[in-house]
Amino acid sequence: MIKAFFAFVGLLVFLMMPVSSALADEAPYVIQDFATSSKTVDGDSFTYPKGEGEMRLVRAEFKKGATFPMHTHPVPLMAYIETGELTLTRNDGTSEKFGQDDTFIAGPNTPPHTMGNTGDSTAVMWITFAAMDGAPNLELVESSS
């Protein structure tokens, strides 16, 4: 009797598999991890600030040829390039180029840098800051040139 019960349950599970996978194909939403990292664009680790936490989401739009001045970030951030091409140029002259759907992390140990639109059209970047209440997203730095 017990064997028959488990055989019946096994048959039900087997018969339900195509139905449940068909239902999954028609889900009204898609959730996927898009970007995860524990290192900044420079390969450094980062820590979260102490104090009352505050998450921020910022949209930055760069017209063709625009460059945001030399700056640093006192708090960790994750950036996502929605459209266009942006180049992060460090104060030592090295650079990283990012295009559509690229992501990167920066933080307090990331060297001073500019962010410039080096593409042929407007670029849009979304930035999430893991800040603390009252902390700035960035601090401008005087250029050495």
Report which secondary-structure segment, H or E, holds 83.
strand 77-83
Residues 82 and 13: their CA atoms lie apart, in Å, by 43
| 123-132, strands of its sheet edge to edge | 53-62, 123-132, 77-83, 103-106
- pLDDT for position 143: 67
Beta strands 86-90 and 113-117: pairing type? antiparallel
CATH topology of domain 53-140: Jelly Rolls (2.60.120)
Average pLDDT value for residue range 86-95 = 98
Average pLDDT value for residue range 2-15 = 53
Q: State pTM to two decimals.
A: 0.77
- pLDDT for position 71: 99
- pLDDT for position 26: 84
Domain range summary for the chain, segments of one domain joined by +: 53-140
Helix/strand/coil percent split, the chain, to 5 = 15, 35, 45
- As a whole number, the mean pLDDT across the chain is 88
